[in-house]
Each structure stands twice: as structure tokens, then as C-alpha cells.
Chain A
Amino acid sequence: MKSISSKIVILATFLCAGDPLLASENIPIKNCTWCHGTSAQGFTTAPRLAGQRHQYITNQLLDFSRHTRDNPLSKQYMWAAAANLSPRAARDFAMYFSTLPPKTADDGDKNLVAEGKKIYDLGIPDSNIVSCLVCHGPNAEGVRQIPRLGGLAFSYLKKRLQQWGEGYHATAEPMPRIARTLSPNEIEALASYLSFIK
């Protein structure tokens, strides 16, 4: 009798774990949230994953495992983390994080928001700087494999743009070309504006 009931418990556990909607019980989410924060809102240098486009997350995990996303912290943390991920697991992680509601970092320089918005919306044609809005969306929400930028942390946004200009993650066209045209002040303005977008 006792063995039957324990078998039922085991069976029930398996059935729950098998439910594809409960991704958090299927995949070791804690391996990610240890750095990215318990609700994946980002923590210190690790970016927010909550609400990110799932195709984008999947592509980044692929870039880590191929070593094409070779930024210093990516190399230090994400190369090993993504090394043994199956395509299925990468997709499951991506789907899970994309469904979490994102919170806004709000940590940029408020005085630079107006300038940042202007560059984001229209670019600076005289300096051959393109509009960000055309690809990333009017509210920086991203679409398909193009990432959501609204509400990401100032320091993360700034560092990504800087590092493209320095030659890191060179395969992520067209971003390296775009980042090279931005001055340090323009990068700070963009990162500030984006950090406040809901």
C-alpha cells in the first residue's frame, strides 16, 4: 500500500514536470537567475532577460557557444554556461524568460534623455548615424530576433555599444557598423534614454 502511494507521488511528479507550460520545472532556471536575478530583471553586470525576445535569446546563446559573442564578460561567464546547451534547452530557456514581465532599470542620466530620444527616433543624418527606431520599434520593444532595449540597465547598454566600437561581437551586423559611428556622449545619451523606457 505504502509503495503504491509513493509510486503515485512519483508518477504525479513526472506528469507535472512533463508539462511544457511549466518550463521552470523542466530546465535549471536557477543556473541563470543566480546571476541574472531571481525574476531575471538583471543584476549588476548581468543583463535583464525578462521580456526579451525569445529568438534574440536563442541567437545569443548560440553566439556564446560559437564564441562569436566574445565580449570580456561573455567570455568569462557565458561561454561555459552555454557550452553544453542543447538547441532544445536553449529554446526552452528563451521561451521561459521572454514571458516574464520586464521591469525598467531607470538608472540613466535624466539630463541626457531628450538627446538620446532624438538620436533613437531619427538618427543624425549629417553624421551618418541611423535611426534606432526603424528596427527596434517606437517603444524600443524589439521584434522577432531584434532585441527589446527599453528599460535595460544603463551600464549594460553603454558597454554593449562601446564594445561593438572596439571590435567585440563583430558578427552581430549591423550593430558594429552603427556603434562605430557613435561618439561617447551619444552612447551615454542613448543608454540613458533607453534605461527609462517602460
Chain B
Amino acid sequence: MKLSSLRLALLTALFAIVFSATGRPDDGGAITLRRQDLHAKLGYCTTCHGLSGQGYYGYFPIPRLAGQQPKYLENQLRAFIERRRTNPVMFNVAHSLSPSMVAGLAAHFRGLDPKPIGSGPRDRVATGRAIYQEGLPESNVPACSACHGQEAKGQDEIPRLAGQLFPYTVKELTNWSRERGQGGTKADTSAIMAPTAHNLTPSQIAAIAAYLSYLQ
């Protein structure tokens, strides 16, 4: 009797957590996302990431979020919170977001489609396109298109790359294992990219980043 009531209590607690984590509208309104809160937070995000989520050249390159896969955005925000992805500013941003807020933000950015800022070196675009579409078999680099798609739009956990800021893509590929997959044994999908990122030379990275920076 005692055990079963404990079990019931645990189950109730579990359900409460699950429901609050998904922010269902039928949870009595206590944690339902308020429109004005989402609006205020979107204003906060777009101050740095651009009014249309197109990205921004600050002192550091601030990535494009427009058209990004919601699952990827949610995963990255979680990675910042769990310190699997190193970024003090984004840790601070992410850890105060409720799950329903994250879902609301991700859905908003998913729906944006501004023109890419561009700005990668034009003379590297053709090389970048070739690596993106065919890979570099001799260096064990698979075609990027195999996972990220022919048009680099991504899918589910696999991010959209099209239109990403040139210096941001360069920075990410260059620092892959120093920035992502931190925190020891915690599972992190970024491990998939580690060997590929390592096998690319700086010049090849620049070419891929240049190609992606103009891709609509």
C-alpha cells in the first residue's frame, strides 16, 4: 500500500514534469506561453541575430537563425545549458528559457526566409560547391549534401547551412571539438561532425563556407 502510493506520487510528479516541459495549452494556463512574452523574447533574439534572423557581423559573427531546423535550434540551446557547447553568452541566454518558449522561438525562426548576407570570397564558391556536393574521398570527407541536403536546408537534428554567415561557418568548422561535444561522456550529436571537421584544411573550410554564405 505504502509502496503503491509512492509509485502513484512518482508517476504524478513525472506526468507533471512531462506536461510542463512540453508546455501544453491544457495545463491550466500556468505555464502557457504568453504572446507578449514570446514577442519580447523575439525582440531580444533578433537584436543580435538580425530582425529577420539573417545573422549579424558583430565583433563575433552572430549566426543566421532564419529557416533553421527547430530540432537543431532546440538541441543547441540545450547544449549551451548543459555546457556541452561552450559559449558563456549563449549559456546565459539559454538557461532562462522555458521549453515552451524555446519551441515558440524555434517555430518563429523556422518560418523566416530573408536573403543571405553573403560576403564569402566569391572566387572560392565553385570549389566549395564541389566539396559540398561530392566530398573529398581522398581525405575521408563525405559529401555535405548527403546529410545536410542538396540545398543545404537540413532536416530534424541536422542543421540548415544555406545562407549562413561566412566567418561563422569558418569558426565552427575550425573550432569544432573545442567548442562542441564538451562535458565528458554526455551524449552529443556533434560527435558525428568531428572527424569531418578535422579532415578539412583551412582553405577547404573557407571554400565550403563561401559557397554556403550565398546559398538562398
Interface residues of A (CB under 8 A from B): 121-123, 125-126, 128-131, 133-138, 141-144, 146, 173-174, 177-178
B44 neighbours in A (Cβ, 8 Å): 125, 128-130
User: With A121-B88, A123-B92, A134-B89 known to touch, is A128 a contact of B43 (CB < 8 Å)?
Assistant: yes
Interface size class of B (residues with CB under 8 A): 20 to 34
Interface-facing stretch out of B25-33, B58-66, B186-194: B58-66
CB < 8 Å neighbour of A125 from B57, B59, B93: B93
Ranked nearest first, the 7 interchain pairs of A and B with the lowest CB-CB distance are A135-B58, A128-B44, A137-B59, A122-B92, A125-B96, A131-B89, A134-B58
B43 neighbours in A (Cβ, 8 Å): 128, 177
A133 and B95 alpha carbons, distance in the complex (Å): 19
Tell me if A130 and B59 are in contact (CB < 8 A): no
A192 and B92 alpha carbons, distance in the complex (Å): 23
A128 and B97 alpha carbons, distance in the complex (Å): 11
A49 and B64 alpha carbons, distance in the complex (Å): 33
User: With A128-B41, A177-B43 known to touch, is A135 a contact of B48 (CB < 8 Å)?
Assistant: yes
Tell me if B59 and A133 are in contact (CB < 8 A): yes
Tell me if A130 and B58 are in contact (CB < 8 A): no
Binary CB contact string for chain B from 74 to 106 against chain A (1 if under 8 A, 0 otherwise): 000000000000001100110111000000000
CB < 8 Å neighbour of A130 from B47, B51, B57: B47
Nearest-CB distance from A175 to chain B (Å)? 10
A135 neighbours in B (Cβ, 8 Å): 48, 56, 58-59, 62
Residue with the greatest number of chain A CB neighbours at <10 A, chosen from B47, B57, B88, B93: B47
Residue with the greatest number of chain B CB neighbours at <10 A, chosen from A121, A128, A133, A141: A128
A123 and B48 alpha carbons, distance in the complex (Å): 12
Tell me if B62 and A134 are in contact (CB < 8 A): yes
Complex A-B: 11 CB contacts under 8 Å: A121-B88, A121-B89, A123-B93, A125-B93, A131-B48, A131-B89, A134-B48, A135-B48, A135-B59, A137-B59, A178-B47
B3 neighbours in A (Cβ, 8 Å): none
